[in-house]
């Protein structure tokens, strides 16, 4: 079976690729586990070269239907759609966000539909679909009310995937990801970038600005749990999902201050002193519009993994700093 990963050169795409190569199999549309013959990584930039013969890399604009027709073929059993313009950039560059976060998603769905064999499609959505006046713990069936163009584009794509699934064009699975922390690499244009930056930069001896108050509650997930989540989401049977193809992944609800305390426990006060607290009203408005906690009972019942604690997340990140870099990760974060 062949697998396509959009955003395949990005951080989560590379992690997922490594996990799939190691795993070796995925559930085919028939329901049976089959060997992965090929993983095609599609991204604006070519993914790093790999010695693994199962890896193919295509550099191109995923909003260009001809690029998608090239990578989605009769052998494509599964698609992981991770490519996105992140929240901060989609807010600054409205048309770019619409083009990649909405139009490319639709073009991808159309490329799948045109093939006619109903590939399985896992979509990385986001808690940014929620917003406005939210309760402390957002119920699983809460209405979406995005307060950013990024969240709007994700919510629109969720609707499209549900309809394409209902009509039998794809077998879609929409996973609403918490904020991923700790991402390696450099800060990016995501409004949530600080949630990695306040851990990563101080550990690297660099200053990091925290744009929100220490009392701000965030809903986070480690890269490891996210990648495991993509695979769990792929492997679930249609029966287990039922008619609702959108799942809130079970994140960890922590206050920013608790993240910093955990960093201090792991690395000491000198490291923590590198954090500069400087509220940014623009970023804060977006970040605090997201849920600080979600009722993820359904996600847990479906078997999605959850992180044990913020200490475990930070500990796992620190461990990667000491480990030799593998060929596949960590790379730069997605734009």
Q: Which residues bind its own copies (CB under 8 A)?
A: 94, 132, 141-147, 149, 152, 155-156, 159-160, 162-163, 166-167, 243-244
Say which of 130, 150, 164, 317 is annotated catalytic. 150
Minimum CB separation from its own copies for residue 152, in Å?
A: 4
Closest residue by Cα to residue 108 from 150, 170, 167, 54: 170
- 201-207: long-range pairs with CB below 8 Å, 24+: 201/274, 202/263, 202/267, 202/271, 202/272, 202/273, 202/274, 202/275, 203/263, 203/267, 203/271, 203/317, 203/318, 203/321, 205/274, 206/274, 207/274, 207/275, 207/276
Minimum CB separation from its own copies for residue 47, in Å?
A: 31
Minimum CB separation from its own copies for residue 117, in Å?
A: 18
The number of residues in the chain equals 335
Is the CB of 153 or the CB of 208 nearer to its own copies?
Answer: 153
Minimum CB separation from its own copies for residue 160, in Å?
A: 7
Using the structure block, give the residue that is written with the tokens 């909405």.
102
Is the CB of 155 or the CB of 232 nearer to its own copies?
Answer: 155
DSSP 144: P
Is the CB of 24 or the CB of 135 nearer to its own copies?
Answer: 135
Minimum CB separation from its own copies for residue 150, in Å?
A: 10
* CB neighbourhood size of 173 (10 A): 23
Is the CB of 198 or the CB of 286 nearer to its own copies?
Answer: 286
Contact by Cβ (8 Å): 283, 191? yes
Is the CB of 66 or the CB of 92 nearer to its own copies?
Answer: 92
Minimum CB separation from its own copies for residue 149, in Å?
A: 5
Q: Is 150 a catalytic residue?
A: yes
DSSP 253: E
Enter the tokens of residue 101.
Answer: 């976060």
What letters, b where the CB count within 10 A reaches 16 and e where it falls short, cover 279-316? eeeebeebbbbbbbbbbbebbeebebbbbeebbebbeb
CA distance 236 to 174: 12
Start-to-end C-alpha separation, the chain? 29
Minimum CB separation from its own copies for residue 107, in Å?
A: 12
Is the CB of 38 or the CB of 288 nearer to its own copies?
Answer: 288
Alpha-carbon separation of residue 116 from 76, 176, 281 (angstroms): 11, 27, 48
Q: HSE, CB side, 13 Å, CA atoms: give it for residue 145.
A: 11
Is the CB of 9 or the CB of 90 nearer to its own copies?
Answer: 90
Enter the tokens of residue 316.
Answer: 């796992």
Catalytic residue positions?
150
């Amino acid at each position: 079976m062949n697998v396509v990963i959009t955003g395949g050169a990005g951080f989560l795409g590379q992690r997922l690729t490594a996990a799939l190569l190691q795993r070796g199999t995925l559930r085919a549309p028939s329901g049976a586990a089959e060997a992965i013959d090929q993983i095609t990584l599609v991204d604006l930039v070519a993914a790093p070269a790999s010695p693994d013969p199962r890896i193919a890399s295509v550099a191109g604009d995923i909003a260009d239907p001809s690029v998608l027709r090239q990578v989605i073929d009769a052998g494509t059993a599964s698609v992981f759609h991770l490519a996105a313009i992140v929240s901060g950039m989609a807010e600054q560059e409205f048309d770019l966000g619409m083009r990649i976060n909405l139009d490319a998603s639709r073009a991808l769905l159309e490329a799948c539909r045109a093939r006619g064999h109903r590939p399985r499609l896992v979509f990385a959505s986001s808690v940014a679909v929620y917003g406005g006046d939210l309760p402390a713990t957002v119920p699983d069936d809460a209405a979406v009310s995005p307060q950013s163009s990024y969240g709007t584009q994700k919510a629109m794509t969720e609707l499209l995937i549900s309809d394409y699934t209902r009509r039998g064009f794809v077998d879609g699975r929409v996973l609403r990801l918490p904020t991923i922390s700790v991402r390696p690499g450099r800060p990016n244009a995501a409004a949530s970038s600080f949630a990695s930056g306040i851990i990563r930069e101080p550990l690297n001896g660099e200053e990091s600005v925290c744009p929100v108050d220490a009392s701000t509650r965030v809903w986070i997930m480690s890269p490891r749990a996210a990648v495991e989540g993509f695979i769990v989401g792929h492997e679930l049977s249609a029966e287990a999902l039922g008619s609702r193809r959108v799942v809130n992944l079970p994140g960890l609800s922590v206050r920013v201050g608790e993240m910093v305390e955990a960093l201090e426990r792991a690395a000491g006060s000198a490291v923590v002193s590198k954090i500069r607290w400087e509220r940014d009203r623009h970023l804060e408005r977006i970040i605090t519009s997201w849920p600080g906690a979600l009722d993820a009972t359904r996600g847990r019942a479906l078997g999605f993994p959850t992180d044990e604690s913020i200490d475990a997340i930070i500990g796992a990140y620190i461990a990667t700093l000491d480990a030799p870099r593998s060929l596949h990760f960590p790379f730069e974060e997605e734009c």
